[in-house]
Structure 1
């Protein structure tokens, strides 16, 4: 059984309430209907009710079983405004500003998650990653023990033996432009934990660079090398190694030559990129050249699950990210 099929089964076993703040967008409406039909979650569309129903009618989608909430006539609006004001009053927030901000569907949906009126949120079909992160960091904040929010993609590569039967996790491809060595170490550890908890993988984490085990001497390589050592010191129980070039990380023949003593090289299933440029380029190259499914970006490090989408996503992509968000929500204690 493929990873996403297993994820769907887990989502169905304990259905969660997942809010979609871009409720009047066609792909979200289509996805909401599919999510209900498949029994993956209880989707909640946020936005003007008439606009959403008109759009659904226009594209011939039945959303009669999908919950719709308009922030402007919600009975919970005042509760969310007051709670947001309390969260931000030390930052200069006023009640007047809070009322205006919370009426925004993204902020309204994030407050729903904060106050447990929804278990998770998925956005990004029309908004940027920054649009999602801003209310997330202001309202949800980071999980205990986490100092950085990062992201990962689950890459399913057809007809490939790399990773776990063609499945690999790429991080961070959407959030941190240029993480320092401490942040990179934390991203490696967090992604390894994600691989275990969310994907039931035994993580083998490769810290990627243009150098393998000292083959090049450069400040950029030093960052990856130092991050690797810090991650190993913090979590000696995890298989994390680097610095590794991509071929040394996943190709056994190359690993035998370049890093013969590594327990990760040639067998990596979690790839940690040194910066956002390389991560974003890397996942899109695999997605396009290998016709791979790129599921995400999924956020990690938040106290509660709120997740991003690529603005080029399909309705099916939204369905998969909602399923992943629901499974993440199952793991929140």
Structure 2
């Protein structure tokens, strides 16, 4: 069975390609390499023994999307990762986020509706909950007004998919994940942001190895035990496996609604300072950091209730925070050696 993975050379995309190939799927990966590297293909091949089909396409070009689907009419499922994903950057450049995250989704769905098997997995985010009123966050939590344009694109994306499901043959699963971190245990693929990292863990590992002088901690006056923001950090391999399980659910027609939603996290919240101390423990490195002003768009705390994914998908995150950080550190050391 042929599966399209958009953003397939990105952080979560590449790990999902690995898990799909390990399960015997044939994968076509689309990526425009704006925040990834062509070398990722070799990493995937070294892990799985097979290189996915690759198409260098910018999904913002509608004609390119149309031509792709004319070429690959035997696709039976799409896992859609391709999107810009940094909260801070989205505040500074909202139009980039609306173009890249909304237009591309629309163009892919327009073509998907023409296929006999229209199964769609959407890379959503816990940012759709905004600052949730209650922890841990369940799928029934009310979707609050988005705090950032990035979060808004995920809310709008979910709304588009719900509307499309009512009038087409598309069956979808929305996976709202919390904070993916780590790298493949082989250290053949991992998180490789271009320029200055926008996410915590790659900034930590780059600081640990000496590329960055020190880590900035955005605020220590939040109403949390140590004053820093709390997030639910999930190992990227655990996350990738959930995508394969969700896809199989659609392919086997086990979904009970045309659009289903699942939280993907560990169910445990960790503060920024706790993550720093856990990294220091697994790496043996002392991490220089400074407290700076709060960052616009950050919520105080977000961690998942994963009961639904555990029960319905039969999926559960297995790796600890320390295991995830250890894999991220192994990856950082490998790519700098």
Of structures 1 and 2, the one with the larger relative CO (CA 8 A, separation 6+) is: 1
Q: Structure 1 length normalisation: TM-score?
A: 0.32
Whichever of the two has the greater Rg, that structure is 1
TM-score (normalised: structure 2): 0.32
Name the one with the larger helix percent.
1
